[in-house]
Amino acid sequence: MTESMLQDVLTFLFGMGCLYALTRCLIAFFGRKRPIAPAEDRAALEGRLARIEQIVEATSIEVERVTESQRFLVNVYAQRPADPASLPKPGVRVTTPH
């Protein structure tokens, strides 16, 4: 066996050993079990859901109020006179000192 052939064989064996070690690391990494979250108390979960329901209901009521106010303002703007001259004139202005 010549020296270059021995070097090639040793390089091949070293490469195969590294490949084997890398494969074992990858198998260990991807094969590990993921931690499972502990099961929560059902009563606590139901209480949390009840609070979320209350928040959603309160939010929907507020959205409904905003919608009603927008409808009212649309009606007010629609009923405004088109000619600004028909609006009553403001009284005398008062200048306040600063």
**Tens digits of residue pLDDT in 2-11:** 888 889 999 9
Q: Evaluate whether residue 66 is within a structural domain.
A: yes
94 pLDDT higher than 80: no
Q: Evaluate whether residue 50 is within a structural domain.
A: yes
Gap between the Cα atoms of 66 and 63, Å rounded? 5
Q: What is the pTM of this model?
A: 0.43
Length of the chain in residues, anyone? 98
Q: Evaluate whether residue 8 is within a structural domain.
A: no
Q: Evaluate whether residue 70 is within a structural domain.
A: yes
Q: Evaluate whether residue 52 is within a structural domain.
A: yes
Q: What pLDDT does residue 86 have?
A: 65
Contact 64, 58 (CB under 8 A): no
Q: Evaluate whether residue 64 is within a structural domain.
A: yes
Contacts of 9 (CB under 8 A, 6+ apart): 1
Q: Evaluate whether residue 71 is within a structural domain.
A: yes
Q: Which domain holds residue 65?
A: 46-79
Degrees, nearest 5: CA angle 76-82-83: 130
Counting the structural domains of the chain, the total is 1
Q: What pLDDT does residue 31 have?
A: 85
